[in-house]
Structure 1
Amino acid sequence: MTIRVLVADDQAVVRDGVVLLLTSAEDIEVVGEAGDGRTAVRLAAELRPDVALVDLRMPLLDGAEVTARVTAAEIGVPVLILTTYADDDAVLPALRAGAGGYLTKDATGEALLAAVRDVAAGRTVLDPAVQRRLVQLVVTDPSPTPAPGMPPEAEGLTRREIDVVRLVAQGLNNRQVAKELVVGEATVKTHLNHVLAKLAMDDRATLIAWAWHHGLADRTPND
């Protein structure tokens, strides 16, 4: 199966390099290119690619706004952010807008190709730098640290759901979580959807931050 990708970056030389890398893979086809956010939104709707690879800082609409509009359109196009930036102002709006992945341009070509494949398959990808920043946000949060033990907010979660949360907070994607727990990826996805619904959360980034804040990230299974 060929993965159809839309590439959006306002820097032509960067865009050309990304396109060259993607087309070097036998299972990936670049079906469109955009040099600004507005064009990216239009092409996403017209072409319905399997993945929209979007730069964060672009004219007309930035990557977070592109992500929000593509997600709101409900056209089934996941967005993978590829950018130089991993600061709070860049990361959080994009993830909250519904980005399926966030990768910095420090990533290797192999990591980018893997990220495209993961996002196309419905898995979430977070650059290690982004993972670290999310953890730092929790560690430096001035709110008081809860007492040891399971937080009251987690009382409605099953043991297996808590295990899934723990592994996700440690940076594992759905495939890795499934392998660790010896279950199918669909089962992991179902658990995550249930967890997000029970905790009234909208995205994986918020769940990761919550898990670290409440000490669930370093729990052993069935602790």
Structure 2
Amino acid sequence: MEVMVPQPGHPRCLIVDDSPTFLDAARRLLEQQGVVVVDTVSNTADAIRTVAELQPDVILVDVELGPESGFELAERLDDEAHPPAVILISTHAEQDLTELISVSPAVGFVSKTELSAGAIRELLRDRDGNEGDHAAAVSEPRGR
């Protein structure tokens, strides 16, 4: 297996969502903005396997994966030896999920309508600058 070396400002990303339409649109958008999308998957089992194989820097996880929970997937990924950064995504408003996001190991949340390479990089910067305080990335204004 070829190991890709992360480039500064170009995170290697896995997208986990049960909507094939969203997966395709998100991949194209993020790749145009300089994010390396290593793969897209639609369920927890494929996500766990792909993380082990490809070791992405960041994983975008839909909070609702059909019958599965993106919050549970974030918990499972956090149990890995070197957990990747998890960013939760959803069509639901952030304020509807704030409590669940704040107790999850995710570095933050991005609405699907606001998904961008910049939003991902901002949350990763917040995580690196506020190690151990992932709730800060959720509750602080995003400078809109």
Q: Smaller-chain TM-score range?
A: 0.7 to 0.9
Q: Aligned to 1:20, which of 24, 28, 39?
A: 28
Q: Aligned to 1:35, which of 30, 42, 51?
A: 42
In the other structure, the counterpart of 2:135 is 204
Partner Cα distance (2:120, 2:111) in 1? 13
* Contact map agreement 1:78 1:119 (CA 8 A) in 2: no
Q: CA deviation at 1:44?
A: 1.8
1:53-72 equivalences in 2 (<5 Å): 53-59=60-66, 61-72=68-79
Partner Cα distance (2:117, 2:54) in 1? 20
* Contact map agreement 2:89 2:112 (CA 8 A) in 1: yes
**Structure 1 pair 46/89, CA: closer, same or farther in 2 (3 Å)?**
farther
Q: CA deviation at 1:74?
A: 3.5
Structure 2: runs of 5 or more not aligned = 1-6, 140-144
* Contact map agreement 2:13 2:56 (CA 8 A) in 1: yes
Q: Aligned to 1:117, which of 112, 121, 125?
A: 121
Deviation per CA, 1:190-222, whole angstroms, max 9, x where unpaired? xx75xx7xxxxxx526x96xxxxxxxxxxxxxx
What secondary structure does 1:80 align onto?
A: strand
Partner Cα distance (1:20, 1:106) in 2? 14
Q: Which has the higher contact order (CA 8 A, sep 6+)?
A: 2
Question: RMSD across aligned C-alpha pairs, in angstroms?
Answer: 2.7
TM-score, structure 1 as length reference:
0.51
Partner Cα distance (2:69, 2:86) in 1? 13
Structure 1 runs (4+) greater than 4 angstroms displaced: none
1:1-223 equivalences in 2 (<5 Å): 1=7, 2-26=10-34, 28-59=35-66, 61-86=68-93, 90-107=97-114, 109=115, 112-121=116-125, 123-124=126-127, 185=129, 189=130, 203-204=134-135
Q: Which moved more, 1:85-94 or 1:64-73?
A: 85-94
> Structure 2 counterpart of 1:76, which letter?
P
Structure 1: runs of 5 or more not aligned = 125-173, 175-184, 197-202, 209-223
TM-score, structure 2 as length reference:
0.75
The structure carrying a bigger strand percent of its residues is: 2
Q: CA deviation at 1:88?
A: 6.3
Q: How many residues align?
A: 131
Partner Cα distance (2:83, 2:20) in 1? 27
Q: CA deviation at 1:87?
A: 6.2
What secondary structure does 1:81 align onto?
A: strand
Whichever of the two has the greater Rg, that structure is 1
> Structure 2 counterpart of 1:117, which letter?
R
